[in-house]
A and B are shown apart, each in its own frame.
Chain A
Amino acid sequence: MDMTKLPNPETWLVPVIGDNSFYQGVKNDRLMAAQKNGTIRKSTGKLTVEFYGMISYKIITPGGVEILFDPFRNAPDLDLGGIWFLSQFPEIYADVVVSTHAHGDHDGMMRVHSPMVLDRLAGTVEIGDAKITGFPDKHVSNPENEIYDGRILEKAFEKHNYPPGENMEWDNSIILVETEGFRIVFWGDNRQNPPQEILDELGDIDVFLSAVSDDGHITTARWGEKLGKEVMNAKVVFPGHYNVEGINHPYASGIIDASQFTRMYDHTFLKETSVSFSKEEIKDYDFHVMYFGENVNWNLLKWPHKYNYDYPMVSLEEWPGDHREWTVYKPEGKEKY
């Protein structure tokens, strides 16, 4: 092969700051349908919840509006806590992306192909059969877990991390979605003690997409129970912000899974990557924990493989062989030119 004739790739590299949906070829056709008809499909009466790793959940309303919460990414500055993720967030589609706050594990909106983004929402947005309300509040600064307290976090980030005078990173919006009688709360990384006014407005809920992991990096099991069971009377709880092998860097932030928390209550260890239920099906549940574990709704490469594959051993001679590509330049009849 003549290396000088090898074509360059058809594409070129472009660093994009901010909005990149121009490059993604995203279209708002589904949103136009929702705007015109009120829904995207005939109502199924069921709410669908899918898990994408870290704290990223997608809910699909009965009318078909896909709302994705808090996709993750590695923050562009390594100074912001270093590498947290071993995988990039999948380039999936969602009708709406909602981000609760400006931290790398919550603001990877640029990975998602979506025609619309609600970043740090406050106020009420109505689209299709979904009503999305953002309650502006603050990020957790003292998680009260057994591993570290707020002062250690402040030292690790070298930033003042609680009000007053903290920067945008330490804010958080709690998101409430109301659709066909379902009330769903996505907690983000909110502090455990938001003002009573916010808790009053949240009221009783059906689904609590929480930030509970066993290490209590954001919400400890104790606070998860207090908020989800005692304050909001959640029927179904999904843990979040927990470690998934292949996604989270094992040494970043020290988070572990949420299986202990799950076992403490009525629970289901979900074997699928997506779960759907109607209001009727969950009406008798009281703080029932549904745990996706490592079942994320995309093709996650775990390396090294956790499970044994049935690969036959192939010898080096057989594959890939010893291809001496450079011998096309070998001088004729002598060793060197």
Chain B
Amino acid sequence: MEKAKKQSSPVMGSTKKSEREHKHKEMIMPRIVQIGDVAYAQNKNNTRIIAAHYYDGLRESSDEVTFTYYGMSAIKITTPKGLELFFDPWKNPCDPSWGGIWYSMRMPMSHCDIGFTTHSHFDHNAFEMLDAGMILKNFVGVYNFADFKVTGIADKHIVETQSSVFTQDVLHELYPFPNVALEDRDNTIYLIETGGLRIVHWGDNRQNPPQDVWDKLQNIDIAILPVSDDGRTLTPEWADKIAKKMGAKVVIPTHYYMEGINIPNAGWGESAEEYVKSHSHTMLDTHTITLNSDKVKDYDNHVLYFGENVPFEIEKVELSSSDDVAQIPEIKKVWEQYK
């Protein structure tokens, strides 16, 4: 037998040193207890996928593409023939010591046909919260199915945001875990072509991908960019540059602070309102919008802002300032049932 590579011990609590530590000397990685994929727990089946395989869709074409915003970078794109593509579901980290608790709620289990993640950060990779027919994780290549084409373009995560708030020092304090500053983290930019629209989901990609990536990202109709006023991922300046470089007709900001979803000061400050207002814009009062090439053809860097509209209930907890002290309940004599 060929000499096999040495494996780290699979036994929990083993004193055998993990191989990971040797590869990344500067970082301390946890031992992980892997639970992995949980799709077996889904009650639905692949009937919609099979139908789309045989019929190239699930309904007559509506000639429109529907966008539904789920907070953070999570967005569901419904193709004209009814296929639901979900990008970047979010969750709190499995290990809160890495970046803390970011969200005061959990993204509800959401149905889609195909789930995509751009990279393996927890604010983008919660595919276990998708009730999905299939999952394409950090997908690279060209994907054709039914009435859409998705090109996964492999690149790297943003490292230096050039934000005045989230400087390298601040990020290092906030996130002591091996973050992008210490090594290249991957990211996939998705180019979705459906219903005559060319849509880009940026993920958390760096601002300066190589030229061959830009070559693929030309004549874009809709750019979904992680831009917020504090420049947590993309600063407004960089969002403008990127949108211009892609010739984006419409920009949809994501990855911004939203009261009730994001915990304040957990690495989050501001929404994207200032950015939106400084451009030709539409403030949406709904979480869902339908677009087609006719509707967007006259726009140039027009910003469509979902604001705080998401298709699920957000609980905003108001801390009580009342002076009344609540009564402690009386002691229940639970032992008396055994008398």
Given known contacts A10-B28, A12-B31, A31-B154, is B37 in contact with A119 (CB within 8 Å)?
yes
Query: Is the CB–CB distance between A119 and B122 below 8 Å?
Result: no
Query: Is the CB–CB distance between B138 and A22 below 8 Å?
Result: no
**A165 and B47 alpha carbons, distance in the complex (Å):** 9
Report the minimal beta-carbon distance from B250 to chain A, rounded to whole angstroms.
26
Given known contacts A122-B53, A295-B1, is B36 in contact with A168 (CB within 8 Å)?
no
Per-residue 0/1 for A1-33: is the Cβ within 8 Å of any B Cβ (1 yes, 0 no)?
Answer: 000000001111111111111111111100110
Query: Is the CB–CB distance between B134 and A125 below 8 Å?
Result: no
Chain B residues lying within 8 Å of A117, measured Cβ to Cβ, are 135-138
Number of CB contacts from chain A to chain B under 8 A: 243
A20: which of B36, B126, B152 is its contact (CB, 8 Å)? B36
B42: which of A13, A121, A167, A173 is its contact (CB, 8 Å)? A167
Chain B residues lying within 8 Å of A193, measured Cβ to Cβ, are none
Query: Is the CB–CB distance between A23 and B29 below 8 Å?
Result: yes
Report the minimal beta-carbon distance from A68 to chain B, rounded to whole angstroms.
13
B contact residues, range: 35 or more
Between A22, A137, A164, A173, the greatest number of chain B beta carbons within 10 A of the residue's beta carbon is seen for: A22
Chain A residues lying within 8 Å of B186, measured Cβ to Cβ, are 26-28, 115
**A128 and B140 alpha carbons, distance in the complex (Å):** 10
Chain A residues lying within 8 Å of B44, measured Cβ to Cβ, are 167-168
Query: Is the CB–CB distance between B20 and A120 below 8 Å?
Result: no
A contact residues, range: 35 or more
Per-residue 0/1 for B107-131: is the Cβ within 8 Å of any A Cβ (1 yes, 0 no)?
Answer: 0000000000100111001111000
Q: Does B338 contact A (CB under 8 A)?
A: no
**A115 and B138 alpha carbons, distance in the complex (Å):** 7
Query: Is the CB–CB distance between B45 and A125 below 8 Å?
Result: no
Query: Is the CB–CB distance between A76 and B136 below 8 Å?
Result: no
Q: Does A171 contact B (CB under 8 A)?
A: yes
Query: Is the CB–CB distance between A18 and B37 below 8 Å?
Result: yes
Chain A residues lying within 8 Å of B94, measured Cβ to Cβ, are 14-17
Which of these binds chain B: A86-94, A211-219, A317-325?
A86-94
Which 9 A-B residue pairs are closest in the complex by CB-CB distance? A123-B145, A127-B141, A110-B36, A299-B4, A102-B39, A18-B128, A117-B137, A88-B10, A168-B42
